[in-house]
Amino acid sequence: MLDACYDTSAVQAAVDLANTLKPVRGEDFLESVAQLRGFLHDHPALGPAEPSEPAAEHATGVRWSPTEEDLAEVRSLRETVRAVLERANTDAAGAVALVNDGLRHSRATPVLRLGDDGWRTEVVSGTDRCSHHLAAAMFSALASVIATLGPNRLGACAGPNCRGTFVDLSRNGSKQYCTRACAHRVSVAAYRSRHNAG
């Protein structure tokens, strides 16, 4: 079987970025430069591609030392990524317009990179801006999911009081909740309400 053409780590990074905001609880985990540095450290594949760059340096994400300006840009990117994930299901054309705009704006450029398992393509930005590299990787990954699996694979959690976002890469594509914990909470609540009603 062929590997899927989307970059799963970039797909996950897009979801993780959107979920640094918990809109229902009003919690925000991307309020400081230190938090952005942590996010970049946890998603090392989002760095710029430079063939001369030592692999270890790339892998630890130390190339980026983000500034306040980067933080503001990544926060604004987060709004767009969340809008794409939340909308794709009901307004595919609107979500796709945001993705295309994001690709253009970040000057997304495919490059070949030599990894441990051989050559692979990645999408980076033609600029040196941190937020543009994130945007190029995330929007191209979401674009590939939309093109291969369809826009309804992107979504926001159906759990009450959640709105966590997800991308469903499973075989049957029936995901409704951001996490198993959320699905479990909902089924327990449904059980209790049936029990109380009976």
CB atoms within 10 A of CB 123: 23
- Cβ at position 179, least distance to Zn ion in Å: 6
Q: How many residues bind Zn ion (CB under 5 A)?
A: 6
Q: Judge whether 163 and 177 are in contact, CB under 8 Å.
A: no
Alpha helix stretches (DSSP H) within 8-158:
8-18, 33-42, 55-59, 68-87, 92-105, 130-148
Residue (142 or 162) nearer to Zn ion, CB: 162
CB of 156 to Zn ion, least distance (A): 8
Q: What track of x and - describes contact with Zn ion for positions 129 through 168 (by CB under 5 A)? A: ----------------------------x-x--x-x----
Based on the shown chain and the rule CB under 5 A, indicate whether residue 85 belongs to the binding site for Zn ion. no
Q: Which residues pair with 124 in a beta bridge?
A: 109
Q: CA 35, CA 46: separation in Å to the nearest integer?
A: 16
Q: DSSP secondary-structure letter at 175?
A: -
Stretch that binds Zn ion, among 10-18, 77-85, 147-155, 174-182 (CB under 5 A): 174-182
Q: Give the footprint of Zn ion on residues 13-72 (CB under 5 A).
A: none
Which residues of this protein are in contact with Zn ion, per CB under 5 A? 157, 159, 162, 164, 178, 182
